């Protein structure tokens, strides 16, 4: 039995680090596990221009000890008013790695998101021309569509057409949750990839209703049926270079989760690698873990692989029931559980 596994230092291709006190509290968890991360721009107000992104990047780095070597990769939050030239300038200046597309009202702080994706054609054309990736929260926001179907309907109604009309645009379908998404990405051209979260590999929708309402199992896109979880797992461990690690770690203070209208988001950053590795071991795919965690994403983004290694060892670790206190008290994914792997510091 393998008791230690050493891989190239991994990256998180989708994370919410927040701002202010929460940023101060959570950033170190991501920096401990990952060399780089794609930082989501859904602050209030959202990060829509390069000056805001530079300022946010500085706040992230200031929240970390100087020696972490962590690199935040910034994204531009697309709105209906997005300007192709400003985005291209931000990309050329090394500020924006990618643009993030939230359909308006799809998830937390997405009220300023895009109402008609195809109306942004000039922006998408420019991104395509300069090789700047488009990261998509792939859910329709039509409230008459069942919440469990919103990802599959987004693929049918929007994504198929987007890939057809922008054949060279690099697209990441973020946090996939369905068999439809796994199948679509697998069959799509090499310009299309997907991130996968730990929670969508580990829980299905029963977890949200397990003996009562479980707000800490609620995120968007919401976990789906078991057959979808199995399809997403199969994609993650398939060895296909189109699938890579993106935690979507999204902390909310405990009171905002345990509420009459609880916020969406799962805070998985502290034990993300342990969580993913458990899945790869269960699927007898330890040899594919490094590709998923440390190679596929960098290749898709056209970035160099990291130097350095991380090691995980087979040693039980108890996940705390709560991390932080006061305004930053958060219940982590796997709270109270014992995981079988531990990242070696």
Count the residues of the shown chain that bind ligand OTD, applying the rule CB under 6 A.
12
Residues 6+ apart with CB under 8 A from 318: 336, 337, 338
Residue 71 three-state SS: strand
* Phi, psi of 144, rounded to the nearest 5 degrees: -80, -10
State in angstroms the smallest separation of the CB of 284 from ligand OTD: 30
Using rule CB under 6 A, residue 151 touches ligand OTD: no
Establish if 107 lies at the interface with ligand OTD (CB under 6 A): yes
Distance CA 39, CA 48 (A): 13
Q: By CB under 6 A, what part of segment 248-307 binds ligand OTD?
A: 248, 250, 264-265
CA dist 22 and 210 (Å) reads 28
Please provide residue 233's backbone torsions phi and psi, each rounded to the nearest 5 degrees: -60, -45
Kindly report the CA angle at 275 between 293 and 251, in degrees rounded to 5? Answer: 95
Segment 246 to 305, residues that bind Zn ion, using CB under 5 A: 248
* Cα(221)–Cα(181) distance, integer angstroms: 12
Please indicate whether residue 248 is annotated as part of the active site.
Answer: yes
**In the complex with ligand OTD, which residue's Cβ is closer, 42 or 240?**
42
Residues 6+ apart with CB under 8 A from 67: none
Considering the rule CB under 5 A, would residue 200 count as an interface residue with Zn ion? no
For ligand OTD, the binding residue among 38, 217, 219, 237 (CB under 6 A) is 219
Range 159-188, binding ligand OTD (CB under 6 A): 175
Candidates 141-149, 163-171, 245-253, 309-317: pick the segment binding Zn ion (CB under 5 A).
245-253
Length of the chain equals: 345
C-beta of 105: minimal distance to Zn ion in Å? 12
CA distance linking residue 117 with residue 221, whole number of Å:
19
**Closer Cβ to ligand OTD, 19 or 313, answer by number:** 19
- Cβ 90 vs Cβ 53: under 8 Å: yes
- Looking at the chain, list the stretches that DSSP marks H as alpha helix, in order from N- to C-terminal side: 20-33, 50-62, 84-92, 121-130, 150-154, 160-165, 179-187, 198-202, 226-236, 254-257, 272-282, 289-290, 296-301
Tell the smallest beta-carbon distance from residue 280 to ligand OTD (Å). Answer: 23
| Rounded least distance, CB 16 to ligand OTD, Å | 4
Q: 11, 12, 49, 248: which is the annotated catalytic residue?
A: 248
Binding ligand OTD by CB under 6 A: which of 108, 141, 186, 204?
Answer: 108
220 is an interface residue for ligand OTD by CB under 6 A: yes
Binding letters toward Zn ion, positions 92-121, x by CB under 5 A? ---------------x--------------
Q: CB atoms < 10 A from the CB of 191, how many?
A: 18
Binder among 8, 13, 33, 42 for ligand OTD (CB under 6 A): 42
**Which residues are part of the catalytic machinery?**
248
Contact set with Zn ion (CB under 5 A): 107, 137, 248
- The binding site for ligand OTD (CB under 6 A) comprises 16, 42, 107-108, 137, 175, 219-220, 248, 250, 264-265
């Amino acid at each position: 039995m393998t008791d230690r596994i050493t891989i190239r230092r991994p990256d998180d291709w989708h994370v919410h680090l927040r701002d202010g006190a929460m940023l101060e509290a959570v950033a170190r968890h991501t920096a401990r596990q990952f060399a780089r991360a794609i930082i989501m721009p859904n602050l209030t107000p959202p990060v829509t221009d390069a000056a805001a992104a530079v300022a946010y990047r500085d706040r992230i780095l200031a929240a970390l000890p100087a020696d972490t070597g962590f690199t935040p990769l910034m994204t531009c939050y697309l709105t209906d008013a997005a300007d192709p030239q400003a985005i291209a300038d931000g990309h050329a200046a090394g500020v924006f790695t990618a643009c993030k597309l939230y359909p308006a009202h799809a998830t937390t702080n997405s009220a300023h998101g895009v109402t008609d994706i195809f109306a942004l054609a000039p922006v998408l054309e420019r991104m395509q021309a300069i090789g700047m990736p488009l990261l998509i929260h792939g859910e329709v926001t039509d409230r008459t569509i069942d919440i469990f179907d919103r990802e599959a309907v987004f693929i049918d109604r929007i994504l198929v057409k987007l890939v057809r009309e922008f054949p060279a645009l690099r697209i990441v379908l973020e946090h996939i949750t369905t068999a439809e998404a796994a199948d679509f990405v697998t069959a799509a051209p090499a310009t299309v990839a997907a991130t996968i979260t730990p929670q969508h590999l580990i829980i299905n929708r029963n977890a949200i209703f397990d003996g009562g309402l479980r707000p800490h199992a609620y995120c968007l896109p919401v976990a789906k049926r078991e057959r979808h979880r199995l399809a997403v797992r199969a994609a993650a461990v398939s060895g296909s270079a189109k699938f890579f690690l993106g935690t979507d770690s999204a902390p909310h203070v405990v009171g905002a989760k345990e509420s009459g209208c609880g916020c969406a988001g799962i805070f998985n950053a502290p034990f993300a690698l342990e969580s993913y590795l458990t899945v790869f071991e269960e699927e007898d795919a330890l040899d594919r873990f490094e590709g998923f965690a440390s190679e596929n994403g960098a290749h898709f983004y056209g970035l160099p692989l990291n130097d350095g290694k991380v090691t995980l060892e087979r040693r039980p670790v108890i996940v705390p029931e709560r991390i932080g206190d006061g305004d930053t008290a958060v219940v982590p994914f796997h709270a109270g559980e014992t995981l079988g792997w531990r990242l070696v510091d």
